[in-house]
Chain A
Amino acid sequence: MSDVKESKSKGGKVIVCDGNEAAAWGACLSRPDMVAVYPITPQSSLVEYLAKFIAEGKMDAELMDVEGEHTVLSVLHGACLAGARTYSATSAQGLAFMFEPYFRTPGLRLPMVVSLVTRDAVSPTCVWGGQQDAMTVKEVGWIHMYCETQQEILDTIPIAYKVAEHPDVMLPVNVNHDGNYLSYGVARVELPEQELVDSFLGEKQVNWHACLDPERPMAVDPLTGGAGGAGPATFVRYRKGLCSGMQSALTVIEEAHADWGRRTGRFWSPLIEEYRMDDAEVALVTIGSMTGAAKDAVDEARLDGRKVGIVKIKTFRPFPIHRIAKALSRVKAVGVVDRAVNFGWNSGPVFQEVLAALYHLPVRIPAMSFIGGLAGADITVEHFARVVDRVNRLAAGEASSLPVWLNEND
Chain B
Amino acid sequence: MHEVRLHGRGGQGAVLASAILAAALVEEGQHVMAIPAFGFERRGAPVVAFLRMSDQVIRRITNIYSPDIVVVIDPTVARAVDVFAGMPANGTYILATNRQPGELELPSHLGRVAVCDATHIAMDIFKRQITNTIMLGAFAKATGLVSVAALETALEETDFRDAGLRQNIEAVRRGYAETTVVNLGKEKAA
In the assembled complex, the CB of B149 is this many whole angstroms from the nearest CB of chain A, namely 16
| B31 adjacent to chain A (CB < 8 Å) | yes
Question: Would A16 and B33 count as touching, CB distance under 8 A?
Answer: no
A288-316 to B contact mask, C-beta < 8 Å, 1/0 = 01111101100000000000000000000
Q: What bracket does the count of chain B residues touching chain A fall in?
A: 20 to 34
What residues of B have a CB within 8 angstroms of the CB of A1 in the complex?
57, 59
| A2 adjacent to chain B (CB < 8 Å) | yes
What residues of A have a CB within 8 angstroms of the CB of B63 in the complex?
378, 380
| A10 adjacent to chain B (CB < 8 Å) | no
Question: Would B26 and A16 count as touching, CB distance under 8 A?
Answer: yes
Chain A residues numbered 232-279 whose CB sits less than 8 Å from any CB in chain B? none
What residues of B have a CB within 8 angstroms of the CB of A378 in the complex?
62-63
What residues of B have a CB within 8 angstroms of the CB of A381 in the complex?
60, 62
| B34 adjacent to chain A (CB < 8 Å) | yes
In the assembled complex, the CB of A126 is this many whole angstroms from the nearest CB of chain B, namely 11
Q: How many residues of A contact B (CB 8 A)?
A: 29
B114-156 to A contact mask, C-beta < 8 Å, 1/0 = 0000000000000000000000000000000000000000100
Chain B residues numbered 1-57 whose CB sits less than 8 Å from any CB in chain A? 18-19, 22-23, 26, 31-36, 38, 40, 57
Question: Would B61 and A186 count as touching, CB distance under 8 A?
Answer: no
User: Which A residue's beta carbon lies closest to that of B18?
Assistant: A186
Chain A residues numbered 97-145 whose CB sits less than 8 Å from any CB in chain B? 127-128
Checking A16, A180, A290, A291 against B38 with a beta-carbon cut-off of 8 angstroms, the contacting residue is A180
Chain A residues numbered 372-395 whose CB sits less than 8 Å from any CB in chain B? 376, 378-381
In the bound complex, how far is the Cα of B40 from the Cα of A188, in angstroms? 27
In the assembled complex, the CB of A291 is this many whole angstroms from the nearest CB of chain B, namely 8
Question: Would A181 and B59 count as touching, CB distance under 8 A?
Answer: no
User: Which B residue's beta carbon lies closest to that of A184?
Assistant: B36
| A185 adjacent to chain B (CB < 8 Å) | yes
Question: Would B33 and A187 count as touching, CB distance under 8 A?
Answer: yes
| B65 adjacent to chain A (CB < 8 Å) | yes
In the bound complex, how far is the Cα of B52 from the Cα of A381, in angstroms? 14
In the bound complex, how far is the Cα of B131 from the Cα of A265, in angstroms? 41
What residues of A have a CB within 8 angstroms of the CB of B154 in the complex?
16
Question: Would A2 and B59 count as touching, CB distance under 8 A?
Answer: yes
In the bound complex, how far is the Cα of B65 from the Cα of A290, in angstroms? 17
| A182 adjacent to chain B (CB < 8 Å) | yes
Question: Would A186 and B34 count as touching, CB distance under 8 A?
Answer: yes
In the bound complex, how far is the Cα of B36 from the Cα of A180, in angstroms? 8
What residues of A have a CB within 8 angstroms of the CB of B57 in the complex?
1-2
Question: Would B62 and A16 count as touching, CB distance under 8 A?
Answer: no
| A14 adjacent to chain B (CB < 8 Å) | yes
Question: Would B34 and A185 count as touching, CB distance under 8 A?
Answer: yes
What residues of B have a CB within 8 angstroms of the CB of A127 in the complex?
40
Question: Would A185 and B61 count as touching, CB distance under 8 A?
Answer: yes
In the assembled complex, the CB of A262 is this many whole angstroms from the nearest CB of chain B, namely 21
In the assembled complex, the CB of B43 is this many whole angstroms from the nearest CB of chain A, namely 17
What residues of A have a CB within 8 angstroms of the CB of B22 in the complex?
16, 186-187
Checking B23, B35, B36, B65 against A16 with a beta-carbon cut-off of 8 angstroms, the contacting residue is B23
User: Which A residue's beta carbon lies closest to that of B57?
Assistant: A1
In the bound complex, how far is the Cα of B26 from the Cα of A296, in angstroms? 22
Question: Would B60 and A292 count as touching, CB distance under 8 A?
Answer: yes
A10-33 to B contact mask, C-beta < 8 Å, 1/0 = 000010101000000000000000
In the bound complex, how far is the Cα of B18 from the Cα of A128, in angstroms? 20
CB-CB nearest 10 A-B residue pairs: A292-B59, A186-B34, A16-B23, A293-B60, A185-B35, A188-B26, A289-B61, A292-B60, A186-B22, A181-B61
Q: A16-B154, A127-B40, A178-B61 are in contact. List 15 more A-B contacts (CB 8 A).
A: A1-B57, A18-B19, A128-B38, A180-B38, A186-B19, A186-B33, A187-B22, A187-B32, A188-B31, A188-B32, A292-B62, A296-B60, A376-B38, A380-B63, A381-B60
11 contacts between A and B (CB under 8 A): A2-B59, A14-B26, A181-B35, A182-B61, A185-B34, A185-B61, A186-B32, A289-B61, A291-B59, A292-B62, A380-B62
